[in-house]
């Protein structure tokens, strides 16, 4: 039985999981969950994720939620095929993958997601954007990316000189952020810019990005 990914092609968290699956050379069935009609809050989906958020992955009798945990599961399950996203044969490299994955979820994500939410999501819901929230988070993002710039001066990717889950986890939000008027925050930092151009040219990302039509505004 194949992998079933319950979510939406437009959703950043669904995109994260889809990218991990493609990196491992696997396929999946996307089972659409309609957020507009609130399908994710109905019993059918709540049985898959009681928190009522997409995505959820079904792999046989196993059902998982939380996109980073799912991507990590995929990376473990298929560790011997495709790109080794977790450096499972090297304790130190694997530790750096964990460190920079935590940086993504704990430090980077809250800031960039606040900007994307204000700039892209609220207008779609017919709600007003709060420029003060965007500005405050842009300042925070600049400081975070200054740290990334220093890191990427010394290593090609975040966890080392190898592409990993830590880089992959960043993809969906930077993808949408790069559709905003503030791309200079990335492009003014040459090593961050080169890193983004490198990781976003991977075939797994390109395949997933095609489905993120929301970003083509
Ligand atoms: N931490 C969760 C967050 C999931 C999440 O925020 N999903 C969004 C779509 S990208 C969602 O379901 N939003 C609708 C809602 O929260 O009601 C993950 O990484 O899977």
- Domain 3-77 class? alpha beta
Ligand 1 centroid – CA 128 distance (Å): 21
Q: What ligand 1 atom has the least distance to the C-alpha of 68?
A: 19
CA–CA distances in Å: residue 156 to residues 152, 162, 178, 193: 6, 7, 21, 12
Question: Tens digits of per-residue pLDDT, 186-206?
Answer: 999 999 999 999 999 999 999
Residue ranges of alpha helices (H) inside 83-124 are: 91-103, 109-116, 122-124
* Token pair in block for residue 55: 């995505």
Closest residue by Cα to residue 18 from 214, 217, 196, 212 = 212
Instruction: Name which residue sits closest to atom 14 of ligand 1, judged by CA.
Output: 53
pTM of the model: 0.96
Instruction: Name which residue sits closest to atom 13 of ligand 1, judged by CA.
Output: 53
Is residue 51's pLDDT more than 90? yes
Ligand 1 centroid – CA 54 distance (Å): 5
Question: Tens digits of per-residue pLDDT, 15-34?
Answer: 999 999 999 999 999 999 99
Of all residues in the chain, the percent with pLDDT exceeding 70 is 97
- Domain 91-209 class? mainly alpha
Q: What ligand 1 atom has the least distance to the C-alpha of 14?
A: 10
pLDDT at 82: 94
Q: Which among 33, 51, 54, 72 is the best mutation to test ligand 1's pocket, defined by most ligand atoms within 8 Å of the CB?
A: 54
pLDDT at 1: 67
The C-alpha atoms of residue 156 and residue 174 are separated, in whole angstroms, by 18
Is residue 213's pLDDT more than 80? no
Residue 101 contacts residue 169 (beta carbons within 8 Å): yes
Of all residues in the chain, the percent with pLDDT exceeding 90 is 95
Domain boundaries defined on the chain? 3-77, 91-209
Ligand 1 pocket by C-beta < 6 Å: which residues?
11-13, 35, 40, 52-54, 66-68
Is residue 111's pLDDT more than 60? yes
């Amino acid at each position: 039985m194949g992998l079933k990914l319950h979510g939406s092609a437009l959703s950043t968290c669904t995109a994260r999981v889809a990218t991990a699956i493609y990196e491992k050379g696997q396929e999946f069935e996307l089972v659409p969950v309609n957020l507009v009609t609130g399908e994710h809050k109905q019993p059918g989906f709540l049985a898959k994720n009681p928190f009522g958020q997409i995505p959820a992955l079904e792999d046989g009798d196993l059902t998982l939620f939380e996109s980073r945990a799912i991507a990590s599961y995929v990376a473990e399950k298929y560790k011997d095929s495709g790109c080794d996203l977790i450096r499972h044969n090297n304790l130190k490299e694997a530790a750096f993958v964990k460190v920079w994955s935590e940086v993504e979820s704990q430090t980077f994500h809250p800031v960039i997601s606040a900007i994307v939410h204000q700039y892209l999501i609220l207008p779609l819901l017919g709600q007003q954007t709060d420029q003060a929230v965007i500005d405050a988070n842009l300042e925070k993002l600049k400081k975070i990316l200054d740290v990334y710039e220093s890191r990427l001066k010394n290593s090609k990717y975040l966890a080392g000189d190898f592409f990993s889950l830590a880089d992959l986890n960043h993809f969906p939000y930077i993808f949408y952020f790069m559709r905003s008027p503030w791309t200079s925050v990335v492009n003014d930092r040459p090593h961050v810019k080169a890193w983004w151009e490198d990781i976003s040219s991977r075939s797994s990302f390109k395949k997933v990005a095609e489905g993120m039509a929301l970003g083509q505004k």
